[in-house]
Amino acid sequence: MLAPLYVHRDALPRRVVVLGDLNAQATLLERYLRGLRLLRRDGHWGGRQTVLVQMGDVVNRGPGARRAMDLLMRLRPEAQAEGGDVVWLLGNHEVMSVLQYEAHVSADEYLEFATPGEVAAFSLERARKILDFSGPPDRPQRVDSLEGRLLAWEAAHVPGKDAYRAAMSANGVYGAHIRRLPVVCRMGPLVFVHGGLSPGWASLGLEGLGRKAAEAWATHPTYYQDLDPRGIFRDPVGPLWHRAYCVSTARVVRADAALALASLGAEQMIVGHTRTDSVIGGEQGRPLVRLGGRVIMSDTSMGAPGEPGSALVIEGRWIERWSVGGAKGRVAERRR
């Protein structure tokens, strides 16, 4: 029998820290963990019984996916040994990345899997290409933007792709781990999910959702397109892709959110996936409260130029935000 892929705690832990979509920002992850007293100077878990929830999309678009995955994977058993936990939720980008949908994989992500010799050779050739694209320095001429041409060259020539794909395969260290990630987490009155839960998906309950995820992996898909388009990983209103609660305040959307939460015995839903600055009333770096406090958006654009984002800290009555610069503020009152 397949083990359902979900996390459930009857009671909300005394302290919960939530990190939204990470976008392969390993250095930011470390800064958050140290600033929130979850990572000691020696690199080990320092959060005691705190539960860290990472909302998915650890990978893609940035330079440190492998390092971020390594850290989360290493810290979980250390946290559990002290009564805490590190819950890394499954995001749509994790699913795409392990099933060879590499449209959002950056050159830097591949480079993390290249050998030192390959990295050195690539860096040297990249410097030469920049000179080539710039043209002779003594010839008066217009020099067009390098960015597009350089990115195209990097995508075609970056080393590490084979090693990356092996590590992300079903038998690879990261691919195997990602295939065991929970699709949903409920702790006390709060439910955490990457995209959102429609009433239809929520009606399956935690165990049903976890079972659907396990069954989807059990079909042994090779490519992302092998997945059922209406299944748990690809459905546009499924747990990994849902956006309606973030982009609409229509009466039917409010009713759907209330119904979904009631199905799970929860009061509030914390989601990632949709950036807070992409919706009316939102901005970079700040979580956003939606639908009268029922939904809280946690994707605060980590890794956008000049933007470190912010974390959620749930302690006592309040859900608060915390940024690596030390800024704090109340986001919403926790519903009981």
pLDDT tens digit string along 301-316? 988 776 789 999 999 9
1-5, 263-267, 319-323: the lowest-pLDDT one: 1-5
Q: Is 170 in the same domain as 133?
A: no
- State the Cα–Cα distance between residues 150 and 148, nearest whole angstrom: 6
Kindly report the CA angle at 185 between 180 and 189, in degrees rounded to 5?
170
* Residue 90 is assigned to a structural domain of this protein: yes
Q: Judge residue 43's burial from the number of C-beta atoms within 10 Å of its C-beta, 0-12 exposed, 13-18 middle, 19 or more buried.
A: middle
Strand order in the sheet with 288-290: 6-9, 184-187, 190-193, 268-271, 295-297, 288-290
Neighbouring-strand partners of residue 8:
186
Examine residue 1 and state whether it is found in any structural domain, yes or no: no
Report whether 209 contacts 184 (CB < 8 A): yes
What's the confidence (pLDDT) of residue 128? Answer: 96
Whether 186 is covered by a domain: the verdict is yes
Q: Which of 157, 173, 191 is the last residue of a domain?
A: 157
pLDDT at 146 over 80: yes
The proportion of the chain whose per-residue pLDDT surpasses 90, expressed as a percent, equals: 89
Residue 47 and residue 72 in contact, taking contact as beta carbons nearer than 8 Å? no
pLDDT-derived band at 1 (thresholds 50, 70, 90) equals: low
Determine the structural domain holding residue 134 and report its residue range. Answer: 115-157
Residue (of 6, 153, 160, 143) closest to 88 by Cα position: 6
CA distance 71 to 26: 8
What is the CATH classification number for the domain harbouring 179? 3.60.21.10
- Phi, psi torsion values for 280, nearest 5 degrees: -60, 130
Q: How confident is the model at residue 144 (pLDDT cuts 50, 70, 90)?
A: confident
Q: What is the mean pLDDT of residues 319-328?
A: 90
Q: What is the pTM of this model?
A: 0.95
User: Has residue 47 been placed in a domain?
Assistant: yes
pLDDT at 290: 97
pLDDT value for 2:
66
One domain for residues 48 and 128: no
